[in-house]
A and B are shown apart, each in its own frame.
Chain A
Amino acid sequence: MSATALPSPTSDEVLGEPIQGPRALTGDWRRFWHLSFNIAKTDWKLRFYGSALGVVWQLVRPLMLFGVLYVFFTKIGHVNSTTGVGSQYYGAQLLGSIVLFTFWAESTAGSVRCVVDHEALVRKIQFPRLVIPMSVVMFTMFNLALNLIVVLIFTLASGVRPMASWVELPLILLMLGVFAAGTSMLLSAAFIYFRDIQPIWDVVNQIVFYASPVMISYATVQLHLSRTLLHIYEMSPLAVVMQQFRHAMITHGTPSAPNAMGGWSHMVIPVGIVIITFVAGFYVFNRVAPKVAEIL
């Protein structure tokens, strides 16, 4: 009645392609790309489907934040003295930093829950698991691209002329993107085990907002922080990214990140953090990926 003893397999070629369990990546890069891109595209479409102003809404949030901060700091707070070098560009720099921070916050906070939210797919379809956090990062990249156009317009309007240093921008954005992707992998994997990551991460992002040159320029921070705190501040990849963005995109009146923070040697830690985060993020996600479908 039962199965007769089946021959034990000897060589893989005869038996065909071995089926491995679910993994973060399957080696099929085209499929990975198509999937991530199209999920991001679909989410993007869904976000604006049926709303008359559509994409405009995506610009409103950073612009509103910008408006509030701009009015507060230039008209009321006077934290950034409007008489300083390059201060006529404060608006453009503020907006640029807000846009970069928004990308960071949306992509990391958005990916915390992403694997759990896509439970139906994870449990029912075989596909490279890494697609899920990557599609979130990609989705926020669309936003970033859109917002950067506004930054560009604002920058040109505040009197900045195209500069050679704009060629640095892709590199700056790459550093931010890699950091965000690494963090997203780490967070989405951790959330499966620790559901309180979400509120914790909201707090972390609040801290990051104030610990980066968004509202307050690095020069001002330098004047007020102790050496130890300043060292910690300078370790942040976001601080480096924003400082360099302000320098390269808007005005050389703002020193570049290496110059402001004491030389290229000081770039080792922030760049190292980016690389380590990405590697660690991939490692952790890769470890978790085969089991996700069962744990959820």
Chain B
Amino acid sequence: MPRSSQTEPSALVIRDVNKTFVVPEQHVDTLKERLLHPRRRVNKRSFPALRDISFDVRAGEFFGIAGRNGSGKSTLLKCIAGIYGTDGRIWRNGRMSTFIELGVGLNAELAARENVVMNGIMMGLSPKEARRRFQSVIEFAELEEFTDLKLKNYSSGMHVRLAFAISIQVDADILLLDEVLAVGDAAFQQKCFDVFNDMRDRGKTIVFVTHDMGTLRRFCHRAMLLEQGEMVYIGDPEQVGDRYLELNFGRAPEAAVNAQGHGGGDGEARVTQVWVEDEAGERKPALPQHQRITLHARVHFMVDVDDPSVSVYILNEEHKAVVVVSTTRDHEHTGSFRTGEDATFSFTFQNVLAPGRYSPMVNLAHRGAGVDLLDQFRGEFSFVVSGTDALGGLVDVPVEIAAKRSDGFVVPELTS
């Protein structure tokens, strides 16, 4: 993580930025209305989009802005870009270029050549410069054969590639990007990531708005989280990612025990509560991959029970059991419980689950193979495994990869 020295000026200084949109309750937008009702007061509602935002972006930093829809992150970017005016103060050091959206100003009726030049001019290049960069843009977009094709005849993938290539052609020190990474096929995405890595290595400052926590964690040195126009956190991207997921999925829900959630057993004991905790022992609605997580099942015994078995089926959204953990395999004796007693059974395992939503089913059974059911819990409780780089499997296991050449030498790139 590059740290700029104290004397080096920040790439962006943002102080006390407030932004309030005033929305008239009914729209009067004709001259006729104004002339007929000159004294009519239109009620206006003000809607604060940003409140007292102050932060610095250091030179050479890859800075992420995360937040839910409507949290103000795009508004903030537009304020920095100078598209919206604010009553705060913003300074920049270095040439800045803004891509609030890919492909703005591209004209479907024109060929790639004209579009590239036109867009370059829009970004502040001189026509000469824009023409000079045309070749490199087309090469990056891999559209050499289609330079004279009108954009309306482009496939959407070609369109996106061109738009992205145009947007990175501008030789700026500070780049503002809004959700631009979610484009293209996997190969092109990789190319984009390479570009970002390269920019980062060359010391460009990038401010990047996203709600993709995977990208945020992968690229950003620092990040901030916005919620309802307020900065709730600034700093470690990992933290931002966690808090973002918390905001999205609500705070630690517990499975309320309800009658519908039970059944199948003889009712001599009941599963009263199920929850999951992360490594730190905190109840979380969303759990990151590859951590150790613990699933707890609280049981209330109505009669004396010896050596009950507890099995947990973790079901995915298609109600398929992806992971099953049980006492039946290795633990014949699980203890004797008295009437009226409560006990909590805990299962800690490596979270190899692929990202998605899961709901656990808990089978509580008499001693034995777990078929003689005391109770079956299938409550409303579910939890989310977060992560964005899913490869497509049901589970995601840690893996070591190696390759050996035919001459017996180990390929060094694959051995970390």
Indicate if A42 sits at the interface (CB-CB under 8 A): yes
Closest CB of chain A to B167's CB: distance in Å? 11
Chain A 186-206, CB-CB to B under 8 Å as 1, else 0, gives 000000011111001000000
B contacts with A, residue count (CB < 8 A): 50
Report the minimal beta-carbon distance from B226 to chain A, rounded to whole angstroms: 12
> Are the CB atoms of A9 and B91 closer together than 8 Å?
yes
Question: Chain B contact residues: over half helix, strand or loop, or mixed?
Answer: mixed
Q: Count of A residues near B, CB < 8 Å?
A: 44
The CA of A274 and the CA of B256, in the complex, are separated in Å by 76
Residues of B within 8 A of A20 (CB): 82, 85
Q: Are B89 and A18 in contact (CB under 8 A)?
A: yes
Closest to B224 in A: A3
Q: Which of A3, A38, A124, A290 has the most chain B CB atoms inside 10 A of its CB?
A: A124
User: Within 8 Å CB of A127, what residues of B?
Assistant: 122
Check B82 against A123 for contact (C-beta < 8 Å): no
Contact partner of B82 among A2, A14, A22, A193, CB < 8 A? Answer: A22
B10, B83, B118, B233: the one contacting A38 at CB < 8 Å is B118
Known: A9-B13, A121-B104, A196-B31. A31 touches B78 (CB 8 A): no
Complex: chain B residue closest to A16, CB-CB: B93
List the A side residues contacting B118 at CB < 8 Å: 38-39, 42
Does B86 interact with chain A (Cβ within 8 Å)?
Answer: yes
Q: Is A125 an interface residue (CB 8 A)?
A: yes
Min distance, Cβ A89 to any Cβ of chain B, angstroms: 41
Closest Cβ neighbor of B96 among chain A residues: A19
Q: Which candidate, B106-114, B275-283, B329-337, B338-346, is the interface stretch facing chain A?
A: B106-114
Please, which residues of chain B bring their CB within 8 A of the CB of A124?
83, 100-101, 104-105
Q: Are A294 and B84 in contact (CB under 8 A)?
A: yes
Contact A22 B234, beta carbon cutoff 8 Å:
no
- A64 adjacent to chain B (CB < 8 Å): no
Identify B100's interface contact among A38, A39, A125, A195, CB under 8 A.
A125
* B residues near A8, Cβ cutoff 8 Å: 15
A38 touches B121 (CB 8 A): yes
Is A34 at the interface (CB under 8 A from chain B)?
A: yes
- Contact mask A1-34 → B, CB, 8 Å, 1/0? 1110010110010111111111000001011001
Judged by a CB distance under 8 angstroms, whether A95 is at the interface is no
A294: contacting residue among B21, B30, B31, B56, CB under 8 A:
B21
> Which residues between 20 and 56 of chain B lie within 8 Å of chain A, taking CB atoms?
21, 29-32, 34, 54-56
Q: Which of B226-254 contact A (CB under 8 A)?
A: 231-235
Name the B residues within 8 Å of A194 (CB-CB).
Answer: 29-31, 34
A22 to chain B, nearest CB (A): 6
> Complex Cα distance A197/B31, Å?
7
Q: Judge whether B104 and A125 touch: CB under 8 Å.
A: yes
Q: Nearest chain A CB to B232's CB is how many angstroms away?
A: 8
**Chain A residues in 8 Å Cβ range of B21:** 294
Query: Residues of A contacting B82 with CB < 8 Å?
Result: 19-22, 126
Taking A38-B121, A42-B114, A125-B98 as contacts, is the C-beta distance between A17 and B93 under 8 angstroms?
Answer: yes
Report if A46 contacts B (CB, 8 A): yes
Contact B231 A293, beta carbon cutoff 8 Å: no
Chain A residues in 8 Å Cβ range of B80: 19
Contact partner of B31 (CB less than 8 A), chosen from A16, A21, A200, is A200
Map CB proximity to A onto B369-405 as digits: 1 under 8 Å, 0 otherwise. 0000000000000000000000000000000000000
Give 14 A-B contacts (CB < 8 Å), ordered by A residue.
A1-B235, A16-B92, A19-B90, A21-B85, A30-B126, A38-B118, A39-B118, A46-B110, A121-B122, A123-B100, A125-B100, A125-B123, A126-B98, A294-B84
Give residues in B with beta carbon < 8 Å to A: 9-10, 13, 15, 21, 29-32, 34, 54-56, 78-86, 89-94, 98, 100-101, 104-105, 107, 109-110, 114, 117-118, 121-124, 126-127, 231-235
